[in-house]
């Protein structure tokens, strides 16, 4: 599940309302990996694509390709300030990440002695 704080939801609703045309939602496109660093590209889109899945919360619809949803699980979106300017702070920590072990790969099964 994606977590969006109430201030970020309010800011996204305000931005969507100010757009010159109606949009289907905010598209999320992750790139990179947990070990090298994630980047999340956001863009308003007018329509959904065939492989898109959507998630809505309090009037904000997030759209992503079905193959990206596992990466987006556990994402946190909050309104923050950077260099005196308001913006979104997005933290990606995909399910199954093994960064605490120093690897992006799932843990190897333990070998049984025997």
Written as six digits, the tokens of 13 are: 């609703």
Q: What percent of the chain has pLDDT over 70?
A: 78
Q: Which two tokens stand for residue 40?
A: 């999340």
Q: Report pLDDT for 105.
A: 52
Question: 75: closest CA among 110, 33, 40?
Answer: 40
Which of the pair, 9 or 32, is modelled with greater confidence? 9
Query: What per-residue confidence (pLDDT) applies to 107?
Result: 47
45, pLDDT greater than 80 = yes
pLDDT value of residue 18: 93
- Strand ranges for the chain from DSSP E: 3-4, 25-33, 37-45, 52-57, 60-65, 76-82, 85-91
Q: Which is higher by pLDDT, 68 or 105?
A: 68
In sequence order, the 6+-apart residues with CB closer than 8 A to the CB of 96 are 70, 106
Could you tell me the pLDDT band of residue 65, with boundaries at 50, 70 and 90? Answer: very high
* Tokens 């980047």, residue located: 39
What is the average pLDDT across 85-104? 68
CA–CA distance, 41 with 59 (Å, rounded to integer): 20
Write the pLDDT tens digit of every residue in 53-64.
999 989 899 999
Sign of the four-CA dihedral 16, 21, 23, 29: negative
């Amino acid at each position: 599940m994606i977590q969006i704080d109430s201030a970020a939801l309010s800011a996204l609703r305000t931005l969507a309302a100010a757009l010159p045309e109606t949009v289907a939602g905010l598209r999320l496109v992750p790139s990179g990996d947990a070990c090298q660093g994630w980047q999340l590209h956001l863009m308003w889109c007018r329509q959904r694509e065939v492989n898109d899945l959507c998630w809505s919360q309090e009037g904000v619809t997030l759209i992503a390709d079905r193959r990206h949803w596992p990466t987006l699980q556990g994402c946190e979106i909050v309104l923050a300030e950077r260099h005196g300017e308001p913006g979104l702070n997005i933290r990606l920590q995909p399910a199954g990440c093994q960064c605490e072990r120093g690897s992006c790969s799932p843990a190897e099964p333990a070998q049984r002695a025997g």
